[in-house]
Amino acid sequence: MRVNAYLSRAGIASRRRADELVRAGRVRVNGELASLHTLVGAHDVVEVDGRRVALEPLAYVLLHKPAGVVTTARDPQRRRTVVDLVPRKPRVVPVGRLDLDTTGALLLTNDGALAHRLAHPRYEVPKVYEAEVEGVPGPEALAALREGVELDDGETAPAEARLVATRDETSLLELTLHEGRKHQVKRMCAAVGHPVRRLHRKSYAGLTLDGLRPGESRPLAPAEVRRLRELVGLA
């Protein structure tokens, strides 16, 4: 693996921060200064500022993200992040993002290969959302969500959409997406005339929040990890 991925798996820094360490000449592999393209094998010795570092074990954590928590490893504004809600060791980072006010299922891991494929639209990983929207979407709005909505960055892929319930002046929609554009559910619903008031991701790649209250997390079972890897062709 590349040296930045190695340092990330070792819990030293994010890949971006690891690149900065390499550029600053603080990383050596087998006694030689590393470059951004240096590859690290199983028997290589990696040092940062003269201290040897080693890989941490792979970890996979499912978090029930509460509202008001930032989906990032660290925040310049010093707001609470999703990493603050899970065990510190091994170091894990979120796969994809949920908006500050969005709640629900979020996977964190230090398995870079798996995280990359789960986030890539090519693998069409299913994400199921519950959206409380303004008004009552009619057949035309639901059909548009199912067939694809034209947004400023292009038409969305077809989604599964159904009206779950209506109450007063709002409705509850369930949407299943297989891509992950920024603010996608909110933008899609707004485009068909029904802005989102509240958004919750009830499942991610088949992982549900059964038994997890907001802010709680759990490690994935080995069978769940195997299924995720099979889902994206890493079995």
Q: How far apart are CA 190 and CA 196, in angstroms?
A: 7
The CA distance from 59 to 175, in Å, is 29
DSSP 8-state class, residue 184: H
For residues 131 and 192, is the Cβ–Cβ distance under 8 A? no
15 vs 7: CA distance, rounded Å: 7
Catalytic option among 75, 99, 101, 111: 99
Query: Phi first, then psi: what are they for 121, rounded to 5°?
Result: -60, -20
Active site residue 75: no
Please, how many CA atoms are within 13 Å of residue 41, restricted to the half-sphere of its CB? 3
Strand partners, 196: 133
Q: How big is the CA angle at 233 (ends 148 and 123), to the nearest 5 degrees? A: 15
Tokens (6 digits) for 219: 């490690």
Residues 6+ positions from 38 with CB-CB distance below 8 Å: 2, 3, 22, 29
Cβ density class 179-191: b for 16+ within 10 Å, e for less: eeeeebbbbbbbb
Active site residues: 99
